[in-house]
Structure 1
């Protein structure tokens, strides 16, 4: 299915305000099947980016990062740049290759930026410059895998001592002992050059329900270094501890009143053992900590970052075509609202404590860190 058909499907769904996400725990059943025909491919993405660039009449600039390198399987990385303002915002999607609907949301947003003359869009484009990466992991997307496969200098898959292909999670490859994949170094170099002020990372997650309800969570809002956790309060004298919560609360306010959206805080674990992540090896964690790998970021530039987690993925066969429109649209609306809030400064006016007070979450048992669980202390 082409991107244009998908967007028509999205519009039809949302004009009817169908409450498809308000279901029994676990969300809508797909009987273990995911229709890949409805998922945008790497080649589709390139075509749509070029179309958006052309129809935008100069608003949207599309280019590759070939000067920095290509993927493990020698594919180009595509970036779309839009806006002329001083607030630089990094938006990345599909760092995990089986988390595909995030790419559709970024493309829809770019299409809006390139074609709409509304006052809110004009404000965003005047005050911000957006660097959008619709598909961080093209190899994984084509293989429909979370990870990607490492290759040797001859272009052949690297294997371990058991003869198995060596794979890597690109979202755990920004670190002093990381950068095993070509993808990681390319995007890190580009990030260090751009020096964004904010970043947003789009993901998918498994099915769960909003605490205290029977509603299937459609999106979770998260920070990879847990607010008020072991790490974030010490960065920039607590500035990012507030900013990341303000960003998420602003998105929550924008989405909470839609009947088909059920938003909560991102947590791992199950039962009465729920944890917030404090993962220093993550890409956006490295952004917040100002990682200087190989002296590529000598000024230790850093920026606050949050992530969205949409329910379902294609690896486990638990995305239903009927729900795709809602899931794409919630990312689109959340992103659009956040960008407007950052452009206007409204985000910084939000009470950050509403993160704990109002966004639904299970009782917190501790923090999931790179070295294990750290119990919460009250």
Structure 2
């Protein structure tokens, strides 16, 4: 009987990943945008803001396109330049990406605000970040999808829509953006990665209060994959990082943070263990086309901010608060990495971050894997 139940859960979860927006689980990332984009930063807005920040920085911020950096693959499918901003002088390198899904715009605004604070704020906190870390910031990973307000990018030759967050696989790299960003990543060899996403509206499973952000790791901590990488090192570091962020945000009045799950109360909840995600490939040390022969890898985490363009719930008040919590969360995590405070956190405190009871792990490699009792 239990095998039949688990099979039904797996089928329901699989359906929810591909359902139309009206039927998709309410805490699953958005798939199609229908919000008025007049208040959302455009590709040209991003370029303008980056150029202004670079001028104000007195040389501290370097803004370049991948074409200027000399990469063979250096533009989007629709021939847009791909921009990366570099700031800091520290030995530890951190990769921060936003808006890999075009209809999840907070990543662009949040990373630009973070850069603005790093350029303009001279406090000891920001100085420690710049002294100990070198940041590589990608405000708009997917400029084509951002301009179309869709999750995907479209291949220029066939029109096929590609989820760029599922394109870093040995069988993938269909999109020009994937080849371009992977080439940069392989050259930089970061030490840590941060990915900013959206999810739909979500409620705390116990209190019913609105959740403003979910903290996640694309290879589930204590799940089927992460404990086997680097003798469990990333299993600890990713949990430490998320606990550090949780501790730094939980006392702000406008935030309500939990752990990222997929599913619903009716179908059951699962954590994700996705090998095909970009930050998963980073942790797995993917070697594509011989560009990462040493299989360099590093821990990575993601933020899932509540509110997306599909649901039309990017109201002015909510947008400002949610962008602020992103900036604070990333800034605090960077400071924790710079001071090594992150590594003093007990990783077992991961269990203190609220989440609903989970049935198992949703994977792209082994179907649904039930939680061991």
Same fold (TM over 0.5): yes
Aligned residues: 337
Q: Aligned-pair distance for 1:42? A: 0.4
* Candidates 180, 183, 192, aligned match of 1:186: 180
Give matches, 1:256-335, under 5 Å: 256-271=250-265, 273-335=268-330
SS in 2 for 1:322: helix
Deviations 1:283-337 (A, max 9, x none): 0000000000111100100000000000121133232222110010000000000
Equivalent of residue 71 in structure 1, options 76, 91, 102: 76
Query: Runs of 5+ in structure 2 lacking a partner?
Result: 1-25, 28-32
Taking the aligned partners of 2:45 and 2:372, their CA distance within structure 1 comes to: 49
Aligned counterpart, 2:16: none
State the partner residue of 2:341.
346
Q: Distance in 2 between matches of 1:141 and 1:224?
A: 22
Question: Offset at 1:239?
Answer: 0.1
User: How far off its partner does 1:33 sit?
Assistant: 7.2
* Alpha-carbon distance, 1:207 to partner: 1.1
**In structure 1, how many angstroms separate the alpha carbons of the residues matched to 2:208 and 2:171?**
43
- Range moving further from structure 2, 64-73 or 341-350: 64-73
| Superposed CA offset, 1:129-148 (max 9, x none) | 00000000000000000001
Q: Which residue is equivalent to 2:62?
A: 61
Residue 337 (structure 1) aligns with: 332
TM-score normalised according to structure 1 size: 0.87
TM-score by length of 2: 0.88
The aligned runs of 1:1-378 (5 Å cut-off) are: 34-66=35-67, 67-68=70-71, 69-152=74-157, 158=158, 165-271=159-265, 273-356=268-351, 358-370=352-364, 371-378=366-373
Q: Secondary structure at the match of 2:239?
A: helix
Please give the per-residue CA displacement for 1:24-47, whole angstroms capped at 9, x wherever unaligned.
Answer: x99xxxxx9734222111000000
Report how far residue 166 of structure 1 moved: 1.0
Q: Distance in 2 between matches of 1:315 and 1:73?
A: 23
| 3-state DSSP of counterpart to 1:257 | coil
Q: How far, CA to CA, are the matches of 2:190 and 2:227 in structure 1?
A: 21
Query: Is the partner of 2:289 in helix, strand or coil?
Result: helix
Q: Which secondary structure does the structure 1 equivalent of 2:187 belong to?
A: helix
Paired with 2:311 and 2:290, the residues of 1 have a C-alpha distance of 39
Paired with 2:241 and 2:82, the residues of 1 have a C-alpha distance of 27
Contact 2:200 2:311 in 1 (8 A): no
Between the aligned partners of 2:83 and 2:289, the Cα distance in structure 1 is 24
CA contact (8 A) 2:34 2:310 kept: no
Cα distance change, pair 33–188 in 1 and its aligned pair in 2 (3 A): closer
CA RMSD between the two structures = 1.4
